[in-house]
Amino acid sequence: MDKETLIYGKNAIIEALESGNRTFNKILISNSAHSDSKIEKIKSLAQAKGIVFQFVNIQKLNQLEPGGKHQGVIAQISPVKYVELDDFIEQNRGKLASVVILDGVEDSHNVGAIIRSCVCAGVDGIILPSRRGVLINPTIEKTSAGAINHISIIKVNSLVNAIQRLKENDWWVIASDHHAKDNYYDINYTDINFALIMGAEHAGISKSLLKLSDFVVKIPMLTNFNSLNVSNAAAIILFERCRQILGLKKDRGK
pLDDT of 5 reads: 85
Instruction: Please compute, for residue 116, the number of CA atoms within 13 A of its CA located in the half-sphere on the CB side.
Output: 19
Residue 243: which residues within 8 A CB-CB, separation 6 or more?
none
User: Domain with 147 in it: what CATH number?
Assistant: 3.40.1280.10
pLDDT tens readout for residues 63-75: 888 777 888 899 9
Residues 160, 47 share a domain: no
pLDDT tens readout for residues 215-253: 999 999 888 776 789 999 999 999 999 999 998 777 776
Distance of CA 209 to the CA centre of its chain: 20
pLDDT tens readout for residues 37-95: 999 999 999 999 999 999 998 888 988 887 778 888 999 988 888 999 999 999 999 99
What's the CA gap between 46 and 21, in Å, rounded? 14
Residues 107, 49 share a domain: no
Q: Where are the beta strands (DSSP E) in 167-220?
A: 171-176, 182-183, 193-199, 215-218
User: Lowest-confidence range among 3-12, 36-45, 171-180?
Assistant: 3-12
Residues 160, 96 share a domain: yes
Residues 73, 100 share a domain: no
* Rg of the chain taking only CA atoms, in angstroms: 20
